[in-house]
Amino acid sequence: MLHIIKIGGNVIDKESDLKHFLSELAQIPEPKILVHGGGKLATDLSQRLGIESQMIDGRRVTDAETLKIVSMVYAGWINKHVVAQLQALGASAIGLSGADADSIRATKRPPKNGIDYGWVGDVSPENVNTTHINGLLEAGLLPVFCPITHDGQGQLLNTNADTIAASLAKALSQTQAVKLIYCFEKQGVLSDAKNEDSVISFIDTATYADLKTRGVVSGGMIPKLDNAFDALAAGVHTVVIGQAQDIKILATANNTKGTSIRK
Which residues would be at the binding site for its own copies (CB under 8 A)? 48-49, 68, 71-77, 79-81, 83-85, 87-88, 92-97, 99-102, 132, 135, 139, 141, 148, 150, 152-156
| Nearest-approach distance from CB 10 to its own copies, in angstroms | 20
Q: Are 237 and 228 in contact (CB under 8 A)?
A: no
Rounded to a whole number of angstroms, the minimum distance from the CB of residue 224 to its own copies is 29
Give the integer Cα–Cα distance in Å for 247 and 33. Answer: 13
Backbone CA torsion sign across 42, 45, 51, 57 = positive
The Cα–Cα gap between 106 and 128 comes to 9
- 3-state SS assignment for residue 132: helix
Cβ nearer to its own copies, comparing 12 with 221: 12
Residue 237: how many other CB atoms lie within 10 Å: 17
Q: How far apart are CA 189 and CA 179, in angstroms?
A: 17
Q: How many CB atoms lie within 10 A of CB 176?
A: 14
Three-state DSSP class for 57?
Answer: coil
In this complex, which beta carbon is closest to its own copies, that of residue 119 or of residue 229?
119
Q: Which CB sits closer to its own copies, 144 or 216?
A: 144
CA–CA separation, 234 vs 170, rounded Å? 6
Q: How far apart are CA 219 and CA 137, in angstroms?
A: 37
**Closest to its own copies by CB, 1 or 49:** 49
* Residue 84: CB minimum distance to its own copies, A: 4
- Nearest distance, CB of residue 163 and its own copies, angstroms: 19
**Residue 163: helix, strand or coil by DSSP?**
helix
Minimum distance, C-beta of residue 72 to its own copies, in the bound complex (Å): 4
Angle at 30 between CA 247 and CA 182, to 5 degrees: 35
C-beta of 85 vs 243, nearer to its own copies: 85
Of residues 77 and 245, the one with the C-beta less far from its own copies = 77
Provide the minimum distance between the beta carbon of 183 and its own copies in the complex, in angstroms, as a whole number: 21
